[in-house]
Structure 1
Amino acid sequence: MPRKIEVCLSPALIDLYAIEDSIVVVIDILRATSSIVYGIDNGAKAIIPVAQVEDCLAYAGCGYLLAAERNGEVVEGYDFGNSPFSYTAEKVKDKTVVLTTTNGTKALHLARSRASQVVIGSFLNLQSLCDWLSAQEKDVLLLCAGWKDQPNLEDTIFAGAVIREIHSSFTEFDDAGVAAQDLYALAKDDLRAYVGKSSHSKRMEALNIEEDIVFCLQLNVCTAIPVLEGDELVALKKDL
């Protein structure tokens, strides 16, 4: 059957896409979706994305881990932010994390209101995600979280990597997807160097979190695909 795969370069553009029957892949490479994938892969029971820092407080004192990030930094008074190194098995296994971030959780909330299904993508679970998407019979929208409604390099590059991997499973493509593929072709031989051109990479370097960038650009170190079920991101039960 004909299948369409599109790329939305910013959450500000999501209303332009008909996604009621589509799988939406939310992408925030540096760092929210990378950390979500890593946390679920490491046995977190669930991750609850909330829109505002204040929303985390409703979960205080109930046994949840509270994670809040704004502008690349941990919000004071919270357990941690969105560094993948906070989502190790030692810290999150069998626990539920309540998470809010500058860009990623905003994109998740915009997608959930209309999408048929919402899943999480990162370089960490690229192959697992692509294998699963290829096996589905739905259109796909790759939603880049960007930076404060502006497009960014790292999310667009990842969208291009997905399309390149599963191109043969689809019959319709948009221009943003073509551009994303071309960008990935330029970046793939040295992702770190290419992503180093990005504005968010420079923000993170200024915060001395270079190791987070390197970690988030690793390929296929996780197999979990987080899927939104109700208010929670949990591990997708794959039929593959």
Structure 2
Amino acid sequence: MNTIEVCLTHELIHQHELEGKVVVITDVFRATSCIVAGLATGVKAIKPLIEVEDCRTLQAEGWLAGGERHAQLIEGFDLDNSPFSYMEERAKGKKVAMTTTNGTLAVNKSMAADEILAASFGNLTATVSYLKTLQKDVIVLAAGWKGRPGLEDVLFAGALALGCQEFLQTVGDSTHLAIAGYDVAKGNLLEYMQRASHLHRLKNLSGGKDIPFCLEIDQFDVVVKLNEAKELVAL
């Protein structure tokens, strides 16, 4: 039986053997929530980059530039790191060069994997269903915040692992911790998340709309995968 294991922060991903495996990146507040929402509603592709200047280079070639540093809009960028930005009419049919403090870094640290997916609560069930077709070992990489675990990402990792239990064996203490955390929080994710440190950094952004949106389960029936051009696209 193939396995599923949770990695609690991108700073720990080097401890995992990625070759031949699927890595599911999650950065609930807010990179992968933006990515899923955007691709589900008309964005053509999103290229996850580490450096701001790499985004500016593509922006000069006609791409939109999106992302954040320290949860704030980057000067001169078209889109911030709110999922609502990625669902705007101006983003439809466009390619977006994206850089964020944690999420796009996590993607780039996972390039040795056989396949990379981006997921959030918004496409939880679609991602579970896709993983069921692969018959491969899975690592769920909870991006976290500047090397530290993020409660929101760990809870999503637990939800994903729980959804895959029928066809993937859960391994590792971090996986069981994530599942236990989600089991406690699932009755009211928004209320439980009031204790999350990253929520307090974000709660005044986008008029307070982002947090409940990012925690809403199964808004979109879309799977997000990194293609050969190293662009995230909807399958």
Q: Same fold (TM over 0.5)?
A: yes
**1:94-129 deviations in Å (ceiling 9; x for gaps):** 1101100010000000011x1000001100000100
Residue equivalent to 1:154: 152
Q: Is contact 1:42-1:92 (8 Å) kept?
A: no
Q: 2:200 aligns with which of 202, 214, 217?
A: 202
Q: Is contact 2:123-2:219 (8 Å) kept?
A: yes
Residue equivalent to 1:25: 24
Q: Is contact 1:43-1:89 (8 Å) kept?
A: no
How much is the aligned-residue C-alpha RMSD, in angstroms? 1.2
Q: In structure 1, what residue type is equivalent to 2:186?
A: K
Q: How many angstroms apart in 2 are the aligned matches of 1:172 and 1:213?
A: 28
Q: How many angstroms apart in 2 are the aligned matches of 1:190 and 1:132?
A: 26
Residue equivalent to 1:10: 9
Deviation of 1:81 (Å): 1.3
Question: Which structure 1 residue ranges, 4+ long, deviate > 6 Å from structure 2?
Answer: none
**1:58-103 deviations in Å (ceiling 9; x for gaps):** 1133221111301111011111111001011513221101100010
Q: In structure 2, what residue type is equivalent to 1:220?
A: D
Q: Is contact 2:157-2:178 (8 Å) kept?
A: yes
Q: Secondary structure at the match of 1:81?
A: coil
Residue equivalent to 2:183: 185
Q: Is contact 2:46-2:98 (8 Å) kept?
A: yes
Q: Which runs of 5+ in 1 are unaligned?
A: none
Identity %: 41
Q: How many angstroms apart in 2 are the aligned matches of 1:97 and 1:60?
A: 8
- In the superposition, the TM-score normalised over structure 2's length comes to 0.96
- Between stretches 178-187 and 57-66, larger displacement belongs to 57-66
Q: Across the two proteins, how many residue pairs are aligned to each other?
A: 234
Deviation of 1:188 (Å): 0.4
Q: How many angstroms apart in 1 are the aligned matches of 2:205 and 2:219?
A: 25
- Between stretches 218-227 and 149-158, larger displacement belongs to 218-227
Deviation of 1:195 (Å): 1.2
- Between stretches 173-182 and 201-210, larger displacement belongs to 201-210
Q: In structure 1, what residue type is equivalent to 2:169?
A: T
- In the superposition, the TM-score normalised over structure 1's length comes to 0.94
Q: In structure 1, what residue type is equivalent to 2:9?
A: S
1:131 and 1:83, CA in 2 relative to 1: closer, same or farther beyond 3 A? same
Q: How many angstroms apart in 2 are the aligned matches of 1:46 and 1:129?
A: 18
Q: Which runs of 5+ in 2 are unaligned?
A: none
